[in-house]
Amino acid sequence: MPASDAKASKAPGQSKNELVITRVFDAPRDLVFEVWIDPAHVAQWWGPHMFKTTVREMDVRPGGRWYYVMRGPDGNDYAFDGVFLDVAKPERLVFEGAIHGDASQKVWTEVTFAQEGDRTKITVHQVFGFESDATRGAPIGWNQQLDRLVAYLAKR
Amino acid sequence: MPADHLSTTFAALADPTRRAILARLAAGELSVSELAQPFEMSLPAVSKHLKVLERAGLVTRGREAQWRPCKLDARPLKNAAEWVERYRQFWTQSFDRLDDYLEKLKSKEKTHARKRRKGE
């Protein structure tokens, strides 16, 4: 990895149905944003190692559909069907959707692109299992209440 | 673990009062009225939340005692945590690839820039 702090890190205070990951990329924000929204670019890097992503539809505007298929090394296909909720070039992308066969509930995802000199810090915030229409665009704010619960789990 | 179980778990966790109930039960068994006290909620309101937690398998109710103590069952939380962990791996690995890809794009860009300068 070129950037020394290019590491996925866990944000403090997050909990069971939420995920926050940040990483700094050694590239200008316009470029990083571009490779996120251009299907030809997305196919080059999206997905875990050994996965091949085919973007079937990517209409990057609010209400636009995003449909892609990831083929795993085992030959299985994982299709994601989602919709963009917010597109603010080159700062923010919000989308929600579900991976078929993995979970029936939707995952809400917000990606922010922050310029840090010549670098770009990406923060991915995902919320799982929200009630889609009622809380659309409004992730569930987790507080620290589950700290004790987490400690309890650790003891098991 | 079937997806609908996960949905139930996540839906149960989506409410702050229910999370607070779970956090309190992590310290030990409590009756419904004991649970209701700090929330300034009616017993029926707390019972409603408990039902959601019970359906999600996060809370079990004792049968022996008349006060039917509420007890935390953390197993569904573990499953949910594993599921979230898979997403974490997805991002970590995608970011690795994005990193490599951006490097490739940048070196290509440099090559083009050199060619452009040579052509001038």
Residues spanned by the domain of B43 = 3-75
Other beta carbons less than 10 A from residue A8's beta carbon: 18
Q: Which two tokens stand for residue B82?
A: 């594993």
In chain B, beta strands by DSSP E: 59-61, 70-72
Q: Is residue B109 part of a domain?
A: no
Chain A residues with beta carbon closer than 8 angstroms to that of B13? 15-17, 129
Q: State the Cα–Cα distance between residues B89 and A68, nearest whole angstrom.
A: 19
Shortest CB distance from A35 goes to which of B6, B77, B101? B101
Residue of A14, A16, A55, A99 to mutate for B, most B C-beta atoms under 10 A: A16
- Number of residues assigned to chain A: 156
pLDDT of residue A32: 94
Q: Which residues neighbour A27 within 8 Å (Cβ) at sequence distance 6 or greater?
A: A118, A119, A120, B102, B105, B106
pLDDT of residue A102: 52
pLDDT of residue B119: 64
Chain B residues within 8 Å of chain A (Cβ atoms): 3-4, 6-7, 9-11, 13-14, 16, 19-20, 22-23, 26-27, 72, 74, 77-78, 80-81, 83-84, 87-103, 105-106
How many structural domains comprise chain B? Answer: 1
Ranges A104-108, A120-124, B20-24, B107-111: which has the least confidence: A104-108
The amino acid occupying position A23 is: R
Host H or E run for residue A109: strand A107-116
Host H or E run for residue A108: strand A107-116
Helix B43-55 to helix B3-13 angle, to the nearest 10 degrees?
150
Q: Which two tokens stand for residue A153?
A: 């789990």
pLDDT of residue A145: 34
pLDDT of residue A120: 94
Q: Is residue B23 part of a domain?
A: yes
CB B50 within 8 A of CB B30: no
Residue boundaries of the structural domains of chain A: 9-155
CB B85 within 8 A of CB B53: no
Instruction: Answer yes or no: is pLDDT of B5 > 90.
Output: no
Q: May I ask the CATH class of domain A9-155?
A: alpha beta
> What does B46-73 look like in DSSP terms, one character per residue?
HHHHHHHHHHTTSEEE-SSSTT--EEE-
Q: Read off the CATH number of the domain in which B50 is found.
A: 1.10.10.10
Shortest CB distance from A19 goes to which of B20, B87, B100? B87
Q: Is residue B40 part of a domain?
A: yes
The label of the residue with tokens 């935390």 reads: B72
Q: What is chain A's mean pLDDT, rounded?
A: 76
Portion 55-114 of A in contact with B at CB < 8 A: 101-105, 107
CB A7 within 8 A of CB A23: yes
CA nearest B2 in A: which residue? A103
pTM strictly above 0.90: no
The amino acid occupying position B106 is: K
pLDDT of residue A148: 41
Chain A residues with beta carbon closer than 8 angstroms to that of B53? none
Ranges A12-26, B32-46, B77-91: which has the least confidence: A12-26
Confidence of residue A9 (pLDDT cuts 50, 70, 90): very low
CB A129 within 8 A of CB B6: yes
Work out the minimum CA distance from B11 to partner chain A, whole angstroms: 6
Q: Is residue B13 part of a domain?
A: yes
CB contact under 8 A, A156 and B101: no
Q: What is chain B's mean pLDDT, rounded?
A: 85
C-alpha distances (whole Å) from B80 to each of A57, A96, B6, B90, B96 are 30, 19, 6, 16, 25
Q: Is residue B34 part of a domain?
A: yes
CA nearest A129 in B: which residue? B10
Confidence of residue B114 (pLDDT cuts 50, 70, 90): confident
CB contact under 8 A, A149 and B7: no
| CA dihedral over A30, A35, A37, A39, signed as positive or negative | positive
Q: What is the pLDDT of residues A58-87, one digit of tens each?
A: 999 999 999 999 998 889 888 899 999 999
Going by their DSSP bridges, the two strands A119-128 and A107-116 should be labelled as: antiparallel
